[in-house]
Structure 1
Amino acid sequence: MKKYLLGALAFWLSFSAVEAQQVAELTMKEALEYALENNPTTKNARLELLISKATVKETTAQGLPQVTGSYNLDYNPKIPVVFLPNQPPFGDPTNPSDVLPARFGVSYSSGLGVNVTQMIFDGSFFVGLRAAKTLQELTGKDLQKAENDVVENVKKAYFGVLVNQERIRLAVANMSRIDTLLKETKALNEAGFAEKIDVSRIQVQRNNIYTQVQRSQTALEISKQILKVQMGMPLEYDLVLSETLKELNTEEDLSKLLVEEGAERIEIQQISTQLELTGLDLKNNHAQYMPKINLVGNARRSGAGNEWGTVFSSDNWFGSSLIGVSMSVPIFDGFAKAARIQKNRVQINQLENQRMFLKETFKNELYTAKANLKNDLSILDVQKENLKLAEEVYQIARIKYNEGIGSNLEVVEADASLIEAEINYLGALYDGLISKVNLEKALGLLKTDLTN
């Protein structure tokens, strides 16, 4: 956590000079560090960890001495009557009733005391203390899971921005290329060497490319907003990504990823910890059958008087104290503990089944992720080759047209094929990036780039 705080501080300092323009320039690593610190999901997970730490302290406190103080000041407007039998030798022959009313007490009474209770033995306490510490471990794993999810989402969003930036770069290049062709064709038309339909055909192509540029710009802005939401960054800031797709996805890194064995998934660790918690709950229910023993003690000073001025007189105050041991033994609870024990055993079976299912699921997920990445890389190579060929075809069509041995239609069709090849290439590139993140998740390596 300290590392993330320092990383976030360094990040804020890095763009504090341009904060007035609300621009944040950051790398992938800086984006991830910022997201881990500011994303609401991870923030709440850290708060939950603090709650679990407080729960451990709360549970520990139950085994420490419990001390309470008490004070009372009472006034009896009428002292209660106690009835005694009107019989010899204490009877009153002059009273015809068979009982005699007597008042035992005074008008004012006061007392000051301290009570102490110390647990000697309670099986539930020791099991509960272990359970509280295990709960803290579980919330720590929940935090790791939340961080993994944030890293996954931020990486995918970050790649989405980079791909849209690349899409705009290609679209602008297409626009520049078609504008040059349109200008030349108009000049040829004015000179009588090209028909009006040739100009119109290129103008249609130019309008289509302009629409593509506008859509790409909108997609870029949307992808930036998505990235800021995933990072927990205010939407007012503009993002400038300082890395390229090539820098983040070298062939060497991809090759290493495909042969990685990976680590145990955090989801499996969560289930294992939940199993431990349920086992402790089972032990706690067994411990309910054992007696509970406490050491008790108290000290008290009491005073009384018939008048307000005498109730606090030292002559009317007397002390008392008590030290003892108390024990409570459960005898019969209507089989409630037995039912809870049975429920715990069923829950343990459920968690074991879930853990086994998750292990098999993650094996399949790992196999699928590696297969998808291999397939996407293969498709990417094909689309990269197609893009290169489309560029060559366009250049040849353009040369032929300029030399008068090719038609305007060939150039327009070659340009459309080039644009289609660019779109297919970018789609294959994005699919490959997403497959890479999915494989990192399947391998349990989403956060390794933060520890390097």
Structure 2
Amino acid sequence: MFSAHAQTAGRDSVLRSNTLSLEEAISVARRNNYLYLEALSNRQRADASVRTAFGQLLPQADASVTALRQQGGRQIFNGGTFGATSDVNQSQYNIGIGYRINSATLLAPKVQRANREAVEADITASGENLRTTVVQQYLTVLQAQATAELQDTLVSAARSQVVLAQARALVGSGTALDISRAEVVLGQAQVQQLQARNSIEIEKLKLFQQMGIPKTGDVTLTTPFTISPVSLSLSELLSAARRENPVVLALRSRERVANLNVRREKGEYTPTLSLNTGLSGYTYAYTNSNFPVEQARAQTIAGKADCIRTEEVRAALGLTNRLAACNSITFSDDMAATLRKQNGSFPFDFTKSPKSISATLSIPLFDGFAREQRVQEAQITRSNLQNQVRATEIQLTSGITSAYLTLSTAQQTVALQEQNSAKARQELKLMQDRYRAGQATFVDLSESRAAYERAESERINAIYDYHKAFALLENAVGRPLR
């Protein structure tokens, strides 16, 4: 019953076949109905929340790189002079690793997984609601078609009555009034036929609206429906609904989420362990590469002069001295080259900083009763959900029982209406035969025809009311029953 023409990946722009089964209509609606697609998008959000909750159990890391250029000059601080006469380039990198854990962090994955289960149940419920809506509208189209077919039959019968009235008038057994009445009946039947055909197109447009695609061309509905009683008893249906109804399952999942949220909020009273470590390095370089060389040369010359003065005093006093060593102090070109090389570390020749690691255990003491407020709010939410679950279960029992009784009544109504229609059909045939034989008037024939039309219309309505009641029972249970 599935048409392969409509099986496309992703969303459908139009229906690619001129036939439409019920299964295909439901499948197309699941791919295109915006309300159902909106419910499906919640699954991605729930999956992301679960992933984030598990991610909080892992260490967090960040990295940064900093570059700085400082203008040369001298600054005076507390009477001292600091600074340099050359601009300075600096760079620094830092890789930080931190880990933070408490009882709330440990409970977060359970909370989000329970929330994801609730979202899945919501999606199932949305799918069942969509299925029920499509089935109901599909049945409405079939009902409109059956009504139109009845009107076609009545138009044909009305034409035959016009011909018969004309024939009776020719032989003298009828009157011109009978012909006029027959023509009026034919005109009324044609009006009802036109309205019935228009109703089919309107109901098809509504069906395609539920499917989420535009209607293009004429489409034939191909799925037949038969009257078949429910194979399960009322107690079995109630038991199945308590286990499988997606609305109840979603509320129960949210009740579990609320229980876990209470535990998580109470976990804010427990200590939090934080661990931090990382790697870092830096560079420091003068823009004028000769500046550190000249600075070192000046320091060497000043140190040599101080050394000579000190040793000359020792020599004058007749003490041992290192005057020869002081005279040999020089600032070589190799030393200058080494300083220039060291000054070229900017920007990426980093000098590593000493490693460190820290551990902190923090215990919450008082936060202005905000923590207590969150616990109370979580407990209230849990209590509300518990009450909502109980109310929904009671409503579920009432709804299924009502739908089951309605379906049983509809099934009996179909049987009675079929009997009424059969009797009305026999009466109409008998009256037509009597009218041909001149034993009945046109008024008698019109009354029999109206009675048959009412009985047949009520039979059609009873049949499709039964199928719609069956669909409502399936929706109340939360799954298909046939």
TM-score interval (norm. to shorter): 0.7 to 0.9
Task: Answer yes or no: is 1:118 the counterpart of 2:152.
Answer: no
Contact 1:134 1:273 in 2 (8 A): yes
Distance 2:278 2:14 in 1: 66
Q: Deviation of residue 211 (structure 1)?
A: 1.5
Q: Percent identity?
A: 20
| 1:62 counterpart residue number | 56
Tell me the distance in 2 between the aligned counterparts of 1:415 and 1:44.
51
Alpha-carbon shift at residue 11 of structure 1 (Å):
4.9
Q: Which of 114, 117, 120 is the equivalent residue of 1:140? A: 120
Structure 2 counterparts to residues 229-308 of structure 1, below 5 A:
229-236=209-216, 238-244=218-224, 248-251=225-228, 253-254=229-230, 256=232, 260-261=236-237, 262-264=240-242, 265-307=245-287
Question: Would you say the 8 A contact 1:291–1:329 is kept in 2?
Answer: yes
**Aligned 1:166-245 pairs, distance under 5 A:** 166-236=146-216, 238-244=218-224
**Deviation, structure 1 residue 328:** 3.1
- State the Cα distance separating 1:79 from its structure 2 match: 6.2
Asked if residue 371 in structure 1 is aligned to residue 405 in structure 2, the reply is yes
Q: Residues 66-114 of structure 1, C-alpha deviation per residue, up to 9 Å, x if partnerless?
A: 2222111112236684622xxxxxxxxxxxxxx4454489733211221
Structure 2 stretches lacking a partner, 5+ long:
290-339
Give the CA deviation at 1:22.
Answer: 5.6
1:341 to partner: Cα distance: 0.7
Structure 1 residues 42 and 192: alpha-carbon distance in aligned structure 2, compared to 1, 3 A threshold = same
Paired residues of 1:188 and 1:194 also in contact (CA < 8 A): yes
Unmatched 5+ stretches in structure 1: 1-6, 85-98
In 1, the alpha carbon distance for the partners of 2:15 and 2:262 equals 59
Cα–Cα, structure 1 residues 249 and 80, in superposed 2: closer, same or farther, change >3 Å? farther
Is residue 108–residue 308 contact of structure 1 (8 Å, CA) maintained in 2?
no
How many Å separate the matches in 1 of 2:127 and 2:470?
18
Which is higher, the Rg of structure 1 or of structure 2?
Answer: 2
List per-residue Cα deviations over 1:108-166 (Å, max 9, x = no partner).
Answer: 321122111133x3222111121121121111111101101011101111111111111
What does the per-residue CA deviation read over 1:168-225, in whole Å, with 9 as the maximum and x for residues that have no partner?
1111011111101111212322443311111111112112211211111111111111
Change (3 A) 1:22 1:28: closer
Residues paired across the two proteins, number: 419
Q: 1:363 deviation in Å?
A: 1.1
> Which of 474, 478, 481 pairs up with 1:440?
474
2:352 corresponds to which residue?
319
Cα distance change on mapping 1:195 and 1:298 into 2, 3 Å: same
Matched with 1:348 is: 382
Q: Tell me what 1:76 maps to.
A: 70
Deviations 1:41-77 (A, max 9, x none): 2222222112211221122222222222211111223
- Please tell me whether residue 39 in structure 1 is matched to residue 17 in structure 2: no
Secondary structure, aligned partner of 1:334: coil
Shift in Å, 1:255: 5.4
Name 1:362's counterpart in structure 2: 396
> 1:50 — aligned with what?
44
* Equivalence for 1:109: 90
Q: Does 1:413 align with 2:393?
A: no
Match of 1:28 in 2: 22
Q: Decide whether the 8 Å contact of 2:15 with 2:215 is kept in 1.
A: no
- Give the counterpart letter for 1:318 in structure 2: T
Distance 1:250 1:430 in 2: 10
Query: Within 2, Cα distance between the matches of 1:69 and 1:312?
Result: 25
The C-alpha deviation readout for 1:392-447, integer Å capped at 9, x for no partner, is 1111111111111111211111111111112222222222222111122222333x
Distance 1:275 1:20 in 2: 42
Letter in 2 for 1:31: A
Equivalent residues of 2:91, 2:284 under 8 A apart: yes
Specify the SS of the correspondent of 2:18. Answer: strand
* Aligned counterparts of 1:40 and 1:273: Cα–Cα separation in 2: 25
Deviations 1:314-368 (A, max 9, x none): 4995321222223333222110110111111111111111111111111111111
Give the letter aligned to residue 297 of structure 1. T
User: Within 1, Cα distance between the matches of 2:47 and 2:37?
Assistant: 16
Tell me the TM-score normalized by structure 2.
0.80
Opposite residue 269 of structure 2, the aligned amino acid is Y
Instruction: Please report how far the alpha carbon of residue 38 of structure 1 lies from its aligned counterpart in structure 2 after TM superposition.
Output: 2.5
Q: 1:384 to 1:263 in 2, by over 3 A?
A: same
Q: Distance in 1 between matches of 2:378 and 2:185?
A: 69
Structure 1 residues 336 and 102, CA, compared in 2 at 3 Å: closer, same or farther? same
| 1:260 CA displacement | 4.5
CA RMSD of aligned residues (A): 2.7
On the 8 A contact 1:22/1:236 being kept in 2, the answer is: no
Structure 1 residues 177 and 66 mapped into 2: Cα distance closer, same or farther (>3 Å)?
same
Alignment of 1:151-166 (within 5 A): 151-166=131-146
In 1: Cα distance, 2:427 partner to 2:95 partner? 97
The corresponding residue for 1:331 is: 365
What residue in structure 1 maps to residue 315 of structure 2?
none
The amino acid that maps onto 2:226 is N
1:4 is aligned to: none
